[in-house]
Chains A and B, each alone.
Chain A
């Protein structure tokens, strides 16, 4: 048994814009750029996916350690740090929920996905129904029911992402944005559980 516990279990990697993904006492390159700045994109929820991908690739073409394999140790280290940073920026911005969470953190809002579990009653009801349906389908080994539930979740997610775009880029209602991110995180978790259940059923043949 260990004599310590995770301090912030929910802090999977909620690194602030100024601390970057490589927070480390021994590595101190200038990482003052935000993920958006690093990739040369406007700081908005709406992102052109193909442009994001192109920018990321352009950046990696410049900084990736493969470009510096024959260079000095100092340069190899620096390349690793910059490439790490580029990967972190791309990973965060590519995922709409991650992008929203990050954008909110830039505005000084913490989405509080682990600490704040308060949800509006109607969403709580919906949650319980979905969970129940997932549990029953899993127990019955009913892959069709699981698949249709997954499709239902995908629809709900698409709708929420639309609301998120309006809240962040339109109304600038960041409290609403935080609440939507929390709901979306719940959907993601349930989707992962359904995936696990499908996998399990598949393995049992």
Chain B
């Protein structure tokens, strides 16, 4: 852990210690957990060795939720309490979910995100996702025989900031240390690229249950560089089921409606859709609640005709991604198919036609994302073997901007910027004597604020009164390696500074996570405290060890006062970890982290300088 890694990046301080880390594909219809064992990535199955976990959660009044196959089996009987495809609701409001048509849930508007009333009470999509993640965490801990050090959770590349933040919150709520959010097509590229030792430019075409991503990557000498990504976060295999269900409804004069009958119809549609990947026609029997029994039939030709518009819908984003990457179809060396929905023959034909080459599909499209995430998790946890060196450079999928005059968007960070990225933009006041400024952060490609997603609003106050146009407000956007945004603003015109750092409003604070964890019945209060104390002590010890090691090497980078401050912070943490108050240990660790930041920065700087100095002089000066 820690400062030592500046000299030996990525290597575990104790080479014999293998840290348990997993990759999780939190999918719309299925979720998976995978890990690297003895150098090979593999999916961890359940007790019946089934690799997939249906992403379905059923809630009860007085019992823990049911997750997976059990919940799926009864989804039509208890539709209001059995949540399917919850991923579509992550980071979304009531207006967003309305476009999915009649759903059997009782939605309620909650701050920042829709929530669902269930027998167990109100559940946010974050909580439902956390219940899925908990099952996967327990499955992994059981199989691996220990507590997980961390997890990489995948998200669709085209997920916006709200959806990413919600996913990370779900991970924290499930008790996972989220090492990184990883884009699904990028994860697939890792699994595929490392498996095949590929070099060149690849398109990853990822059609999952509820989302579509297209990513263009360049693989060269151990670097995975995402050049561009595009997609549709509301297009997936589910829509093909819906199209079939609608076709049958019209054909048989069935009434629209939500509830169990819709679920039955959709389940039949899904079954027929899957069969049609292998046969020319298929049928399914549905018994409706009003005692109507129907045999529903569909031919492959009919299926392809009614879903042709959906297939076409994937090609627009594909063209845009190529354009952003400044490439032509001819530049693509290979096309990788990911996601269960890419098994459909007419989709494969469309992809082949577009790219002028048959797609690669030798890795299981259901598993490849989880496998890539596991490989990345293994590296992030510090289990990298010497020489096993590769680097991942990903991008932000959607532009970030600010609302300006007339409801227009001023773009600050363009889409497909390599992350982490920071950009600053200056603004000024509009009225004489104006002392406050409302800042509205939005994400999307459209010109009008009303067409983009609103991420956060905050106010910068305390601007000294000046004539209009004299103040200079610098707004800085920082996007981290998870693709998550934080925004700060300060007035710099007069030397009087005021600054604020915001996290987008839908994000959960640490307190909220703690409260929600408390509300669950996973642990009794004492258990939680004991666990927290143990965790904080381990972390404190690791932090102290790493600072000591860093000091042994680079103490000359600090002057006497800085050294004294750092020593004091170390002593305080050393004293706190002997006590039994986990909050005090956490506070002391935070203080030490803060005190060591400048030191860490100078050490990084020295490491870079060392690398520069190591080059031949004639090479540098040309």
Interface residues of A (CB under 8 A from B): 1-9, 11-13, 15, 21-26, 28-30, 37-38, 40-42, 44, 57-75, 77-84, 87-88, 90-91, 195, 199, 202-203
Complex alpha-carbon distance, A24 and B423, angstroms: 10
Asked if B3 and A8 sit within 8 Å, CB to CB, the answer is no
Give min CB distance, A160 to chain B, whole Å. 19
The CA of A73 and the CA of B3, in the complex, are separated in Å by: 10
Q: Is B241 an interface residue (CB 8 A)?
A: no
Least CB distance from A178 to B in Å reads 21
> How far is B419's CA from A91's CA once the two chains are assembled, in angstroms?
11
Chain B residues within 8 Å of A60, by CB: 391, 393
**Smallest Cβ distance from A3 to chain B, in angstroms?**
5
With a cutoff of 8 Å between Cβ atoms, the chain A residues found around residue B596 in the complex are 72, 74
| A-facing residues in B422-477 (Cβ within 8 Å) | 422-431, 434, 437-438, 440, 469, 472-474, 476
Residues of chain B contacted by A81 (CB below 8 angstroms): 601
Tell me the nearest residue of chain A to B12, going by C-beta: A70
Closest to A73 in B: B593
A74→B420 contact, CB < 8 A: no
B52 proximal to A (CB < 8 A): no
The reply to whether B379 and A29 form a contact with Cβ atoms under 8 Å apart is: no
CB-based contact B422/A84 at 8 Å: yes
Q: Are A203 and B316 in contact (CB under 8 A)?
A: yes
Q: How far is the CB of A119 from chain B (nearest CB, A)?
A: 25
- Complex Cα distance A61/B404, Å? 38
Given A5-B430, A7-B426, A79-B604: A71 touches B3 (CB 8 Å cut-off): yes
Q: B597's closest neighbor in chain A, by CB? A: A74
**Residues of B297-319 whose CB lies within 8 A of A:** 316, 319
> Which residue on chain B has the smallest CB distance to residue A57?
B223
Choose among A13, A25, A57, A77 the residue that contacts B497 (Cβ–Cβ < 8 A). Answer: A25
Kindly state whether residue B37 has any CB partner on chain A within 8 Å.
Answer: no
Q: Which of A7, A83, A195 touches B420 (beta carbons < 8 Å)?
A: A83
* Chain B 546-592 residues near chain A, CB threshold 8 A: 546-547, 590
Residues on B with C-beta less than 8 A from A79 are: 604
Does the CB pair A62–B608 fall under 8 Å? yes
CA distance A15 to B426 in the complex (A): 11
Residue B364 at the chain A interface, CB threshold 8 Å: no
B407 contacts the other chain (Cβ, under 8 Å)?
yes
Interface segment among B75-83, B140-148, B614-622: the answer is: B614-622
Once the chains bind, are A74 and B604 in contact (CB under 8 Å)? no
**CB nearest neighbor in A for B418:** A87
CB distance from B362 to the nearest CB of A (A): 27
Is B535 part of the binding interface, using a Cβ–Cβ cutoff of 8 Å?
no
Q: Is the CB of A58 within 8 A of B422?
A: no
Is the pair A3, B380 in contact by a Cβ cutoff of 8 Å? no
Beta-carbon contact of B380 and A69 below 8 Å: yes
Q: For residue B326, which residue of chain A has the nearest CB?
A: A195
Residues of chain A contacted by B150 (CB below 8 angstroms) = 69-70
Instruction: Select the residue from B150, B429, B622 with max chain A CB neighbours within 10 A.
Output: B622
| C-alpha gap A59/B605 in the complex (Å) | 11
Give 6 CB contacts A-B under 8 Å.
Answer: A1-B405, A7-B473, A28-B598, A42-B620, A61-B389, A71-B5
Nearest to A83 among chain B residues (CB) is B420
A57-B221 Cα distance, complex, nearest whole Å: 10
Cβ A5 vs Cβ B417 within 8 A: no
Q: Is B392 an interface residue (CB 8 A)?
A: yes
Q: Are B590 and A73 in contact (CB under 8 A)?
A: yes
Complex contact A71–B1 (CB within 8 A): yes
Asked if residues A3 and B431 are in contact (CB atoms below 8 Å), the reply is yes
Most central of A28, A41, A58, A67 by chain B CB within 10 Å: A67
Return A46 CB to nearest CB of chain B, in Å. Answer: 9
Number of A-B contacts (CB under 8 A): 211
Which B residues lie at the A interface, using CB under 8 A? Answer: 1-3, 5-6, 9-10, 19, 149-150, 179-180, 221, 223, 316, 319-320, 323, 376, 379-382, 389, 391-393, 403-407, 410, 417-431, 434, 437-438, 440, 469, 472-474, 476, 478, 480-481, 488, 490, 497, 499, 501, 543, 546-547, 590, 593-594, 596-602, 604-605, 607-608, 611-612, 615, 619-622
Asked if A74 and B593 make an inter-chain contact with CB atoms under 8 angstroms apart, the answer reads yes
Least Cβ–Cβ distance between B9 and chain A, in angstroms: 4
CB of A87 within 8 A of CB of B420, answer yes
Query: Which of B423, B437, B546 has most chain A Cβ within 10 Å?
Result: B423
Q: Are B604 and A67 in contact (CB under 8 A)?
A: no
CA distance A90 to B418 in the complex (A): 10
Selected from B420, B501, B547, the residue in CB contact (under 8 A) with A80 is B420
Q: Contact: B422 with A2, CB < 8 Å?
A: no
Contact A2–B403 (Cβ < 8 Å)? yes
Decide: A75 and B391 in contact? CB cutoff 8 A.
no
Interface pair A15/B424, CB less than 8 Å apart: yes
- Check B608 against A63 for contact (C-beta < 8 Å): yes
A67 touching B405, Cβ below 8 Å: no
**A67 with B10, Cβ < 8 A, contacts A24-B488, A25-B490, A74-B597 known:** yes
- Does the CB pair B427–A84 fall under 8 Å? no
On whether the beta carbons of A26 and B389 are closer than 8 Å, the reply is: no
A118 to B438, CA, bound (A): 35
Q: Which residues of A contact B424 (CB under 8 A)?
A: 13, 15, 21, 23-24
What separation, in Å, do the CA atoms of A41 and B465 have in the docked complex? 45
Contact A202 B319 (CB under 8 A): yes
How many whole Å from B154's CB to the nearest CB in chain A?
15
B245 to chain A, nearest CB (A): 28
Q: How far is the CB of B291 from chain A (nearest CB, A)?
A: 47
The docked-state distance in angstroms from the alpha carbon of A108 to that of B473 is 23
Which residue from A3, A12, A38, A67 sits with its C-beta under 8 Å from B5? A67
Central interface residue in A2, A4, A74, A90, by most chain B CB within 10 Å: A4
Q: Given A22-B422, A70-B380, are A75 and B428 also a contact pair (CB < 8 Å)?
A: no
- Please name all residues of chain A whose beta carbon is closer than 8 Å to the beta carbon of B599 when the two chains form the complex: 74
In the assembly, what is the distance between CA of A199 and CA of B490, in Å? 39
Residues of B within 8 A of A66 (CB): 10, 180, 376, 379-380, 391-392, 481
Closest-by-CB residue of B relative to A72 is B2
A43 vs chain B, min Cβ distance (A): 10
Chain A residue contacts of B420, Cβ below 8 A: 65, 80, 83-84, 87
In the assembled complex, the Cα of A115 lies from the Cα of B319 at a distance in Å of: 35
Question: Is A6 within 8 A of B425, CB to CB?
Answer: yes
Q: Are B600 and A75 in contact, CB atoms less than 8 angstroms apart?
A: yes
Contact of B391 among A5, A57, A195, A203 (CB under 8 A): A57
User: Closest CB of chain B to A2's CB: distance in Å?
Assistant: 5
B180, B598, B601 — which one has the most chain A CB atoms within 10 A of its CB?
A: B601
CA distance A202 to B354 in the complex (A): 14
> Whole-angstrom distance between the alpha carbons of A44 and B267 in the complex?
64
- A202 CA to B525 CA, complexed, in Å: 61
Bound state CA distance, A9 and B401, in angstroms?
Answer: 13
Say yes or no: B323 contacts A3, CB within 8 Å: no
With A25-B497, A42-B621 already in contact, the answer to whether A71 and B429 are too (CB < 8 A) is: no
Among candidates A7, A69, A71, residue contacting B428 with C-beta atoms closer than 8 Å = A7
- In angstroms, Cα B546 to Cα A60, docked, is 22
B459 CB to nearest A CB, Å: 11
Contact (Cβ within 8 A) A21 B422: yes
